[in-house]
């Protein structure tokens, strides 16, 4: 039963009042003895509460004897009383007596027993008459208990404390550690020489964290000690963070059959939570280990036990392998050698004051004192009274012996200080201490400060708590020998020697008890709702990097995640290299084109005054060849490393070459068209057909392109940029930043658009002049040139824009553009000039002047020849054409002349 809140406190008061009424109304019977208590006479009596027996079953109040937790502690109080009474410096001439009771490890039984302490305060008849063996009556006054040493279990101390405070009887516990007892408003007369479980819980949290465990289960015995201890542990774990509880199990006060098996099954539900925090009494620990052994869980669970386990042998007896590796905690203490000498010297003869010692003797030596109790074949012998503790039986001092002695001494020092103040210079008790004021005694208890039996200071804080000092133990098995080995200590902070630790199976590797394995580098934790220690690991995908344990963030636009996604690194910058296959072919075409263009230019210059060159229209031919040269040269600008200069030159010359070429061709086709259309109607020459006029028209068309580029420069100055989106692939490893000029696809189309417009217009004129005989003009070669060029650029558009999403976009588009421009120039060069160069170089006999005729005659002859001989003139090199061209070159006549010379003009 857990006593919490006003209801629990009221229940205790009602129960106490009931027992007090029954006790007061109970008639005093002659020869009445306290069969469950030890009485030692003295000037001042102290009460003592010890769990001499375990909790009984089947309706019995008490169970089996507790050798260590019961008898050792009880004898420690007797040992301390002997030392104090024999000490001439402490309470001189004042003898301490005692009334020691057995709590039977049950709070309700302890409450009933502890009413003995207040008997003298509530009975009107304060005498006790005893008649022993028919002798004369012995009249004694019942002792008045001024203070109580105990109890052991926190639930018992809480129950008793609620009664003792009503009668203002101070209480000093040697083992109760429940945090609830630190409440000075409810347990104001309670003090303890052991630290509260809040310190113990903090120490256990520190142990768990030092072992890098973050997922544990808890087991608590029902009652204040177990439940408050686990509550404190959970509270401390939440304050520190990083620790989660898998299962929190409570052992009932009266467990049913199979209850512990059920608990083990619950603890096994999550195999990752191997560590079990135990705040349970000794009996529950033993039965829990038995259930785990029965479930074949040896070596699976790692137990972390509170001071109720400590370094005791009883809980792990005959199940040592199940407890191997258990880490336990115990208030820092030392083995008291003086007590060892005292205890091993105890016999049935010299220890008759302890009414339970005979039972201990039988239990310790596995014998029976009564001959009638020995049954044949039972294997139990009769005690000889010659057995000796530590010689004929194992002996190890119980862990709380030091604190029992310190508790008794704390009470003695408080009484000593009180005596010095109330009875100065008086030997023995004075009248002021005939009736001791409990409130005043409590004040002296809280103010004591002395070195305890082990040399450690004994002090109390304002709540009656002792400072936290713990030793950390681990139960180890080495070479078939077992021991509780000290592996560290805790005083405000943990000091742990992990090298001395050993885990089940003799391994040094710390077992794991975590909910989820740590995430790998580049993964973030996605915690399970409500369980911060459990998580799923999620990869930081694509361009994300692990910003912290729980967050993935996107890398900056110019960065990509490193190999393990723990940070970002710069994205590599790429450009079209001269050695790349994507650049080699366009460069080869451009080099060959430039060489061919220069060859044509040199040939034309060499044969500048021959009829063929003249007939080609020298001025426009040189302009056209310049445009062709620039188209080839553009390839080198497109492949060069982008910077401000290169990008500016790209803007200028990428469209300029095409504009120059097609402006010259458009001027030429327009002139042919106008000449023949004018010749059909009159003999007068069309306007603006002179070389100067043609150049003006050509450069006017070219200037439109240059004007557009200049406006573009003014609105948006040229610059080189790094485009990180162009090759931002799904796989960051393949991502690249593209160094390029700030010319978008749309800007590129606008840049080439004017040249394409000239090309289309020129094609239209070529179609219109397709009826003119090929023997008389260049319309058909120009027409074939334009048709082929249109096909080239029609193929360019789907290739260029169809690869806009490709990872190789930069290479494909640059290569496609440069090759298309070079092919356009090659078509013009091959179809318009290569035949002329061939005639000039290899058939010079055809490159001769012809007689001149009037424009009207030449045009009429050409027209009539086309009508009657569709195959055209059979004269070498197109005689009519030569005549027309040559007649145009003789002179430039006025507009009213009947014919015109065509020198230096080309159709």
Name every residue whose Cβ is closer than 8 Å to that of residue 896 and which is 6 or more positions away in sequence. 684
Q: Which residue has the higher pLDDT, 854 or 480?
A: 480
Residue 10's pLDDT is 53
Torsion of CA 869, 871, 877, 880, to 10 degrees: 30
Residue 830's pLDDT is 87
**Measured between alpha carbons, how far is 354 from 343 in angstroms, rounded to an integer?**
12
- Would residue 180 be called left, alpha or beta, if left means φ above 0 and alpha means ψ between -120 and 50 degrees? alpha
- pLDDT(615) > 80: no
Question: What's the average model confidence in pLDDT over 426-441?
Answer: 90
pLDDT-wise least confident of 496-505, 704-713, 764-773: 764-773
- Is there a cis peptide before residue 151, judged by omega within 30 degrees of 0? yes
pLDDT-wise least confident of 183-187, 702-706, 750-754: 750-754
Q: pLDDT-based confidence at 346, cuts 50/70/90? A: very high
Q: Which residue has the higher pLDDT, 122 or 92?
A: 92
Residue 300's pLDDT is 92
Q: pLDDT-based confidence at 805, cuts 50/70/90? A: low
Could you tell me the two tokens for 826? 């090659």
Output phi, psi for 128, to 5 deg.
Answer: -130, 115
- pLDDT(377) > 70: no
Residue 866's pLDDT is 47
Residue 326's pLDDT is 95
Highest mean pLDDT pick, 119-133, 488-502, 850-864: 488-502
- Residue 546 · residue 524 · CB < 8 Å: yes
pLDDT tens readout for residues 238-274: 888 888 899 999 999 889 989 999 999 999 998 999 9
Could you tell me the two tokens for 79? 């040992």
Helix (H, G, I), strand (E, B) or coil at 621: helix
Helix (H, G, I), strand (E, B) or coil at 351: coil
**Measured between alpha carbons, how far is 375 from 377 in angstroms, rounded to an integer?**
6
Name every residue whose Cβ is closer than 8 Å to that of residue 449 and which is 6 or more positions away in sequence. 457, 458, 459
Q: Is the dihedral of CA 897, 899, 904, 907 positive or negative?
A: positive
- pLDDT(857) > 60: no
Output phi, psi for 467, to 5 deg.
Answer: -65, 155
pLDDT tens readout for residues 559-598: 999 999 999 999 999 888 888 888 899 999 999 999 999 9
Helix (H, G, I), strand (E, B) or coil at 418: helix
Residue 860's pLDDT is 54
* Average pLDDT of every residue of the chain: 83
Residue 140's pLDDT is 56
Crossing angle between the packed helical segments 855-868 and 644-681, to the nearest 10 degrees: 80
pLDDT tens readout for residues 661-709: 888 888 888 877 777 776 666 656 677 677 788 889 889 988 998 898 8
- pLDDT(372) > 80: no
- Residue 879 · residue 850 · CB < 8 Å: yes
Highest mean pLDDT pick, 11-20, 287-296, 809-818: 287-296
Crossing angle between the packed helical segments 581-606 and 834-842, to the nearest 10 degrees: 50
- Residue 496 · residue 207 · CB < 8 Å: yes
- pLDDT(834) > 50: yes
Name every residue whose Cβ is closer than 8 Å to that of residue 534 and which is 6 or more positions away in sequence. 215, 244, 515, 516, 527, 528
Could you tell me the two tokens for 144? 């008045």
Q: pLDDT-based confidence at 774, cuts 50/70/90? A: low
Helix (H, G, I), strand (E, B) or coil at 323: helix
User: How many of the other CB atoms lie within 10 Å of CB of 347?
Assistant: 15
- pLDDT(339) > 70: yes
Alpha helices, H only, 241-389: 259-267, 282-294, 320-323, 337-344, 357-365
Residue 380's pLDDT is 81
The widest CA-to-CA distance across the chain, in whole angstroms, is: 182
pLDDT tens readout for residues 276-321: 999 999 899 999 999 999 999 988 999 999 988 988 888 998 889 9
Residue 731's pLDDT is 87
pLDDT tens readout for residues 481-503: 899 999 999 988 899 999 999 99
């Amino acid at each position: 039963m857990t006593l919490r809140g006003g209801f629990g406190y009221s229940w205790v008061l009602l129960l106490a009042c009931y027992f007090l009424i029954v006790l007061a109304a109970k008639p005093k019977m002659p020869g009445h003895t306290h069969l469950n208590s030890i009485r030692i006479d003295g000037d001042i009596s102290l009460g003592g509460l010890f769990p001499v027996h375990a909790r009984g079953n089947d309706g019995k109040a008490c169970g089996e004897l507790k050798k260590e937790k019961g008898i050792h502690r009880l004898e420690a109080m007797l040992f301390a009383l002997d030392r104090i009474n024999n000490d001439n410096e402490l309470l001189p001439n004042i003898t301490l007596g005692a009334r020691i009771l057995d709590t039977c490890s049950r709070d309700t039984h302890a409450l009933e027993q502890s009413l003995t302490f207040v008997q003298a305060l509530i009975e009107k008849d304060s005498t006790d008459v005893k008649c022993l063996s028919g002798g004369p009556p012995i009249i004694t006054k019942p002792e008045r208990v001024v203070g109580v040493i105990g109890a052991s279990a926190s639930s018992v101390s809480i129950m008793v404390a609620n009664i003792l405070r009503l009668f203002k009887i101070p209480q000093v516990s040697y083992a109760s550690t429940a945090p609830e007892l630190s409440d000075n408003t409810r347990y104001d007369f309670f003090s303890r020489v052991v630290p509260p479980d809040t310190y113990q819980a903090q120490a256990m949290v520190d142990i768990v964290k030092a072992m890098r465990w973050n997922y544990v289960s808890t087991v608590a015995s029902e009652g204040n000690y177990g439940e408050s201890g686990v509550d404190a542990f959970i509270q401390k774990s939440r304050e520190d963070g990083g620790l989660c509880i898998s299962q929190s199990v409570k052992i009932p006060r009266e467990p049913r059959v199979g209850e512990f098996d059920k608990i083990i099954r619950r603890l096994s539900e999550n195999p990752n939570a191997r560590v079990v925090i135990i705040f349970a009494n000794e009996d529950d620990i033993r039965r829990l280990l038995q259930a785990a052994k029965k479930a074949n869980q040896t070596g699976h669970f790692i137990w972390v036990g509170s001071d109720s386990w400590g370094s005791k042998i009883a809980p792990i007896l005959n199940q040592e392998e199940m407890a191997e590796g258990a880490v336990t905690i115990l208030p820092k203490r030392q083995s008291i050698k003086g007590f060892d000498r005292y205890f091993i010297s105890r016999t049935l003869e010299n220890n008759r004051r302890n009414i339970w010692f005979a039972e201990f003797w039988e239990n310790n030596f596995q014998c029976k004192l009564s001959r009638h109790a020995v049954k044949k074949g039972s294997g139990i012998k009769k005690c000889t009274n010659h057995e000796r503790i530590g010689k004929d039986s194992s002996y190890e001092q119980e862990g709380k012996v030091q604190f029992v002695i310190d508790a008794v001494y704390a009470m003695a020092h408080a009484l000593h200080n009180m005596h010095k103040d109330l009875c100065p210079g008086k030997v023995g008790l004075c009248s002021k201490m005939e009736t001791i004021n409990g409130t005043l005694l409590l004040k002296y208890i809280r103010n004591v400060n002395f070195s305890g039996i082990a040399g450690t200071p004994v002090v109390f804080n304002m709540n009656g708590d002792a400072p936290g000092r713990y030793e950390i133990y681990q139960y180890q098995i080495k070479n078939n020998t077992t021991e509780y080995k000290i592996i560290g200590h805790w005083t405000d902070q943990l000091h742990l020697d992990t090298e001395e630790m050993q885990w089940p199976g003799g391994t040094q590797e710390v077992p794991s008890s975590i909910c989820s394995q740590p995430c790998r580098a580049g993964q973030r934790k996605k915690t399970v709702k409500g369980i911060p220690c459990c998580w799923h690991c999620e990869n930081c995908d694509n361009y994300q990097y692990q910003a912290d344990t729980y967050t993935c963030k996107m890398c900056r636009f110019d960065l990509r995640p490193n190999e393990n996604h723990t940070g970002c690194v710069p994205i590599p910058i790429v450009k079209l290299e001269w050695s790349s296959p994507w650049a080699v072919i366009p460069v080869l075409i451009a080099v060959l084109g430039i060489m061919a263009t220069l060859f044509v230019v040199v040939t034309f210059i060499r044969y500048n005054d021959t009829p063929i060159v003249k007939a080609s229209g020298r001025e426009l031919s040189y302009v056209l060849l310049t445009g062709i040269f620039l188209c080839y040269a553009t390839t080198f600008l497109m492949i060069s490393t982008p910077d401000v200069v290169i990008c500016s030159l790209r803007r200028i010359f990428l469209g300029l070459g095409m504009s120059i070429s097609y402006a010259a061709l458009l001027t030429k086709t327009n002139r042919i068209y106008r000449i023949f259309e004018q010749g059909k109607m009159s003999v007068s020459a069309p306007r603006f057909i002179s070389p100067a006029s043609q150049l003006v028209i050509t450069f006017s068309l070219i200037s439109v392109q240059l004007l557009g580029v200049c406006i573009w420069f003014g609105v948006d100055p040229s610059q080189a940029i790094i485009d990180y989106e162009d090759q931002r692939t799904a796989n960051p490893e393949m991502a690249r930043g593209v160094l390029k000029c700030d010319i978008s696809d749309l800007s590129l189309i606008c840049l080439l658009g004017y040249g394409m417009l000239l090309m289309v217009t020129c094609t239209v004129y070529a179609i219109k002049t397709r009826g003119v005989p090929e023997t008389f003009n260049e319309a058909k070669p120009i027409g074939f040139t334009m048709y082929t060029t249109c096909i080239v650029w029609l193929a360019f558009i789907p290739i260029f824009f169809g690869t806009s999403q490709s990872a190789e976009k930069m290479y494909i588009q640059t290569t496609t553009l440069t090759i298309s421009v070079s092919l356009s120039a090659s078509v013009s060069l091959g179809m318009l000039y290569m035949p002329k160069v061939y005639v000039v170089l290899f058939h010079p006999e055809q490159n001769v002047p012809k007689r001149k005729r009037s424009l009207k005659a030449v045009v009429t002859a050409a027209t009539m020849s086309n009508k009657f001989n569709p195959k055209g003139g059979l004269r070498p090199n197109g005689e009519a054409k030569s005549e027309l061209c040559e007649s145009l070159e003789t002179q430039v006549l006025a507009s009213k002349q009947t014919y015109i010379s065509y020198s230096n003009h080309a159709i």
